[in-house]
Structure 1
Amino acid sequence: MQPHELELISLTKRYGKALAVDAIDYRFGAGVYACLLGPSGCGKSSTLRMIAGHESVSEGSIVLDGRDVSRLPPARRGTAMMFQSYALFPHLSVRDNVAFSLRMKGVDKAERNACAMEMLELVDMKDHADRRPAQLSGGQQQRVALARALITRPQVLLLDEPLSALDPFLRIRMRAELKRLQRELGITFIHVTHGQDEALALADEIIVMNAGRIEQAGPALEVWSRPATGFVARFIGGHNVLDAPGGIVAVRADAIRLAAPGAAAFTGHVTGVEYQGAHVALTAQADGRSPRFCPRLPSSMPPSRRARRWG
């Protein structure tokens, strides 16, 4: 499998009068792990489904490896999609689930089974080839769905919130598996998620969407550390967004500290305390001001330092 460049050109999706994706332009580098990140209804899933061919394009183009695939059926695009529900056939074995697309293409049984076993070995599921989906855990079903998508040898693999149905511990394990597979295969992965932690852990590139448009796109570290808009700063997490004379200012929560009265730039009252394991998140109302600040403090800090009054 070779990496190929994918470009979206003024890509637009309308559902009646509703505008779901608003003329977005973006070029995915060959062989990258990219995450479309944003809240529900921002247009990320519609974008992914247009790339896959499961939604029609209202306007614009999808160009893969120099070829406009916007009007081609899914099977002829060079993409494969892994659905959120996994959509495995309950009456087929794991091997037959993975081999199903080759069966539909008329590939003989011996060849398609050999290809299926190769894919199952790639996702460490070879020993479960004769089981049915109901006999597998959620993480195992996800691996089978991945193998089924990869057997078509796609140029781009599309993943629609593939980790959302997993418990938190398994989700972290499967993040590592996805990243390993992407690096081994060297093909482009485009992964839709509304989870900031998931995107930061996986992505080479993050594309933050809001109201059908791209708010900011770039390397994960850049999007996290230098948010371009107030929306990105709030959504990506960990930032306090303040109105300032020159515009919006974003201050990371871990850059704010409690200080003795008279030694701080702002005084205020703590209005909420949330324990989050390694740290404690405080919500504070600044005295005489409208902004709410959210500093993060080490959870080992003595209770007296997490006082009712901040200043």
Structure 2
Amino acid sequence: MTAGSTVELVKLRKTYGSTVAVDGIDLRIAAGSYCCLLGPSGCGKTSTLRMIAGHEDISDGDLLIGDSVVNGEPPARRGTAMMFQSYALFPHLDCVDNVAFSLKMKGVGKEERRRRAAEMLDLVDMGRYAGRLPAQLSGGQQQRVALARALITRPGVLLLDEPLSALDPFLRVRMREELKRLHRDIGITFIHVTHSQTEAMALADLAVVMNQGRIEQAGPPRELFNRPRTAFVARFIGGHNVIDAGVIGDAGRCAVRADRIRLGGAHPADIQVEGTVRSLEYHGATVHLGLDVAGAEEFAVVLDEAGYFDAPVAIGDRVRAGWNRTDVHPLAS
């Protein structure tokens, strides 16, 4: 398999008429890394992926793959391969011929292309289904075939457009594990678009949060979770409370992780607020509470199961929530 390629976006911009989809972003994705572009619908992540693929023209800026500027290059000459959200398998071709199709278009002989297709199917654990048509496969199996088809061209960069969104939750977890294994085994650069924070946290070396065509923050998932730069990132990544200036005597907006907050006066805490229990959800190992607290749009508390049932509360109860000042994280905006 080809070694992974670096991907660099320099002031990359995409407009559709007067609408700005991607607003002059800068990003460097290291060779062999797993990058997730995430954000809400309309944030620019899919337009960015399609510009990297060559399926959208670049309005301004530069796109480098390896050491080459590829702005005007067709998709076939970029060293990239794209796996679409719909998988786009040919219904009348079996798995081998679906995977081998791009090699057929390049003039590779039948015996060679079928041999390489069989190798790719083995790589994604689909060799025993080689003779089946797409309609005879489950959604997860179809996804594996689509992955094999993308990988057979030996790309330096694999582009994935929300590849797990059509799968049920259980299969989605299994396919996350499969993507991580494939990335580790073949060593090329993966760029994966998702709106799922959980997906990005589980898969990415580099997570890139986008909002209104711009990059709000990029870094390792743990960095984004523990040190969100803005209120948008803190809310989108989840697991944080965004508290307005002055509520706890600080100069500006800040974030506090929901799992760092304790209820009641039994736990020592530098900072305390009062609120009313608005919602309560049992999640097995944890219990999630929503509180109405002045100065916070949404205030969440995540307690471990044992801690909650030692001193349970109910919806409508007035409670005191506290946390240590060392758990307060200042936000830029």
- TM-based fold match above 0.5: yes
Separation of aligned partners in 2, 1:293 and 1:109: 61
- Give 1:147 shift: 0.2
Indicate yes or no: 2:143 matched with 1:142.
yes
Task: Please say if residues 261 and 267 of structure 1, whose CA atoms lie closer than 8 Å, have aligned partners that are also in contact.
Answer: no
Partner of 1:295: 301
SS in 1 for 2:36: strand
- Give 1:272 shift: 1.3
Indicate yes or no: 2:263 matched with 1:258.
yes
Task: Please say if residues 242 and 296 of structure 2, whose CA atoms lie closer than 8 Å, have aligned partners that are also in contact.
Answer: no
Partner of 1:276: 283
- Give 1:266 shift: 1.2
Structure-2 change in CA distance of 1:263 and 1:204 (3 Å): closer
Identity of aligned residues (%): 63
Q: CA RMSD in A?
A: 1.5
Q: How does 1:26-45 map to 2 (within 5 A)?
A: 26-45=27-46
Task: Please say if residues 34 and 190 of structure 1, whose CA atoms lie closer than 8 Å, have aligned partners that are also in contact.
Answer: yes
Amino acid at match of 1:254: D
Indicate yes or no: 2:256 matched with 1:247.
no
Q: How does 1:130-279 map to 2 (within 5 A)?
A: 130-244=131-245, 245-260=250-265, 265-279=272-286
- Give 1:276 shift: 2.4
Moved more, 291-300 or 143-152: 291-300
Separation of aligned partners in 2, 1:71 and 1:35: 24
Q: TM-score, normalised by structure 1?
A: 0.96
Amino acid at match of 1:272: S
Separation of aligned partners in 2, 1:262 and 1:239: 20
Amino acid at match of 1:40: S
Separation of aligned partners in 2, 1:166 and 1:277: 23
Structure-2 change in CA distance of 1:271 and 1:115 (3 Å): same
Structure 2 unaligned residues grouped into runs of 5+? 321-333
1:39-70 superposed Cα distances (whole Å, 9 cap, x missing partner): 11000000001100111111111101111111
Partner of 1:98: 99
Separation of aligned partners in 1, 2:17 and 2:310: 56
Q: How does 1:85-124 map to 2 (within 5 A)?
A: 85-124=86-125
Amino acid at match of 1:309: R
- Give 1:302 shift: 2.0
- Give 1:263 shift: 7.4
- Give 1:271 shift: 1.1
Q: Which runs of 4+ in 1 moved over 3 A?
A: 260-264, 288-292
Separation of aligned partners in 1, 2:295 and 2:110: 71
Partner of 2:330: none
Q: TM-score, normalised by structure 2?
A: 0.90
Partner of 2:327: none
Partner of 1:70: 71
Separation of aligned partners in 2, 1:179 and 1:302: 37
